[in-house]
Chain A
Amino acid sequence: MAESARSLTDLFGMLGNRRAAEARPAAESAPAPAPEVSHPTKALQKFLGCLQNRERPVLVDLGPVVGSNVNFFGEQLGCRIRVEDIASDIETHLKGGKADQLPAFFAKRFTQPPGSVDGILCWDVFDYLDKAAAQTLASALITLLKPDGVLLGFFSTAEVREPLYTKYVVVDPLHLKYRTYPASRPRQRALLNGDIIRMFGGLRVSDSFLMKSHVREMLFRKNPT
């Protein structure tokens, strides 16, 4: 009798486990992050095209380090790539209550000699800066570029109030994944086309694409001398 009671308990225990097992997948699926979507890009391929015929070009990436991007650009261009994470600079200043010192910081930020860089990947860093800091950074980058150098910038066309940075992960020359991570403050403003062109006064706009992802992709070239 005792054995039969134990067996029944086992049986009900099993049913209980099965219910729990059935419930688990639903619970696990609820917080699962949304799958990363690849977004088309048009300017990246143009950017690569501008650098492909150069002998060992020097690239500066202003975004956070992405291992696969380093490999991608290394393999595509045989380049030397320098990672200068501007988002981390912004965070350091914001957390230290020194946001007003960003313009002075950017004026001395880069140690490379003037005219030594073939390409600059700005991604969307300008969206996170106020006008003064953005202008100083733009001027520093123009100085860094070689004659005929190329600069790629992304500018949000929508007012986004979420405090998030975006890592742009290169899938291939025509696609990027947008991977967000927390920021101390949201994008500052959606820059108008005219403001952007004025900011990069020493460069000419070679291409500009308005993407469905509410990103304006712009490619700037420095005039050959």
Chain B
Amino acid sequence: MWKRDESVKPATPPAPAPAAPAAPAVSVPPAASSERRPQHMGENVNIGKSVIIKGELSGSEDLTIEGHVEGRIELKENILTIGPNGKIRAEVFAKSVIVLGEVTGNVTASEKVDIRDNGSVDGDITSPRVAIAEGAHFRGSVDMQRAGAKPAAKAAAPAAQAAPAAAAPAQGQKVGA
């Protein structure tokens, strides 16, 4: 009885133990930190919630906007993050654009546009890569034209043409001509 009890005892304390190392991470949620500070850049300027800018905004540092901007934003070599509280009514040009707030206007990025969950874009997007999360709102057009690139499917077309014959399911009976 005692022996069994002793062997069991050590099993109980370790339960809360793993929680201890996790505690310090709570101060800054990892998702929020990665959203606010794009990973690879040292410098990141933040425009706070209460700031309203009307006009042209340009620079050579990564920028996070939590306030309101109307006009034009140009960060051609840098990452622009529209925070959850950010409201933009502007033409946007940047290397990458991450949207967690609201953007009304056309967005042009030389690398990527990423509309995250609850992010909203009302305008046309031009970028070689576009990611739109499930809960995001988007209304407009997407132009993913890469400079000098040919559509990938042209090379794959013969394979795609051959596929239906091989994979032809029993269903899908053709009923029209």
Contact = CB atoms under 8 A, between A and B. Distances in A.
Contacts of B131: 67, 71
A173 B152 CA distance: 14
A67 B163 contact: no
Contacts of B167: 174
A49 B157 contact: yes
B171 A174 contact: no
A26 B173 CA distance: 41
Interface string B149-177: 11111100100110110010101111111
Contact of A14 (B11, B134, B160, B173): B11
Interface in A18-67: 40-42, 45, 48-49, 52-53, 56, 65-67
B20 to A, nearest CB: 19
A78 B144 contact: yes
A88 to B, nearest CB: 8
A76 B144 contact: no
A77 B151 contact: yes
B79 to A, nearest CB: 19
A185 interface: no
Nearest to B157: A52
B171 A40 contact: yes
Interface of B: 2, 5-6, 8-9, 11-12, 115, 129-134, 136-146, 149-154, 157, 160-161, 163-164, 167, 169, 171-177
A48 B142 CA distance: 17
Contacts of B132: 65-67, 70
A12 B173 CA distance: 63
A76 B154 CA distance: 8
A208 interface: yes
A195 to B, nearest CB: 14
Given A11-B5, A67-B136, A76-B151, A210 B163 contact: no
Contacts of B175: 193, 208-210, 216
10 contacts: A4-B5, A67-B134, A70-B132, A71-B144, A77-B153, A82-B140, A83-B140, A174-B167, A205-B176, A211-B172
A40 B169 contact: yes
A210 B115 CA distance: 36
A148 interface: no
Q: What 8 A-B pairs come out closest when comparing CB atoms?
A: A208-B176, A67-B132, A74-B144, A78-B151, A212-B171, A82-B141, A76-B153, A7-B5
